[in-house]
């Protein structure tokens, strides 16, 4: 855990300090330079470290399944298949709404995620669909 934290924090600080990035930040954004290469390496290491850390944390501390997750678990595959239809159906009334896009996103997400699982549960209750949808 400490190694990941050092990688995420120390490597960019060292790169900036060693290269004099205060004058020219564009060398980090791409192209054929050691700064761009180190940025790409750092991003890969940092992302992989974050993923591994999150997997470890959730495996050790949150390895429990309550009644809600027990109900949701068999529905995930069906939600994966049909979520686009539900999201579009929920999104259409918000297209002409005079509100910021971020607020529309929040409303659509809060409505469509539970709706996807309810629709998935209803679909899975149709005879013979459990054979295909798990």
- Please provide the average confidence, as pLDDT, over all residues in the chain: 84
Judge whether residue 19 has pLDDT over 70. Answer: no
HEC-encoded secondary structure of the chain: CHHHHHHHHHHHHHHHHHHCCCCCHHHHCCCCCHHHHHHHHHHHHHHHHHHHHHHHHHHHHCCCCCHHHHHHHHHHHHHHHHHHHHHHHHHHHHCCCCCCHHHHHHHHHHHHHHHHHHHHHHHHCCCCHHHHHC
**Looking at the predicted structure, is the pLDDT value of residue 22 above 60?**
no
Model pLDDT, residue 13: 67
pLDDT at 23: 66
At 109 the pLDDT is 96
pLDDT, tens digit, 9 for 90 and up, residues 58-107 = 888 888 888 888 888 889 999 999 999 999 999 999 999 999 999 999 99
């Amino acid at each position: 855990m400490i190694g990941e934290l050092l990688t995420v924090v120390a490597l960019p600080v060292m790169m900036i300090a060693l290269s004099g990035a205060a004058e020219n930040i564009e060398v980090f954004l791409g192209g054929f330079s050691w700064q761009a290469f180190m940025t790409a390496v750092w991003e890969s290491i940092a992302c992989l470290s974050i993923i591994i850390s999150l997997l470890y944390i959730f495996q050790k501390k949150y390895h429990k399944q309550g009644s809600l997750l027990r109900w949701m678990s068999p529905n995930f595959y069906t939600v994966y298949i049909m979520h686009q239809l539900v999201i579009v159906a929920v999104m259409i009334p918000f297209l002409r709404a005079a509100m910021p896009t971020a607020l529309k996103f929040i409303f659509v997400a809060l409505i469509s995620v539970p709706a996807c699982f309810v629709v998935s549960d209803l679909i899975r209750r149709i005879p013979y669909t459990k054979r295909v949808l798990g």
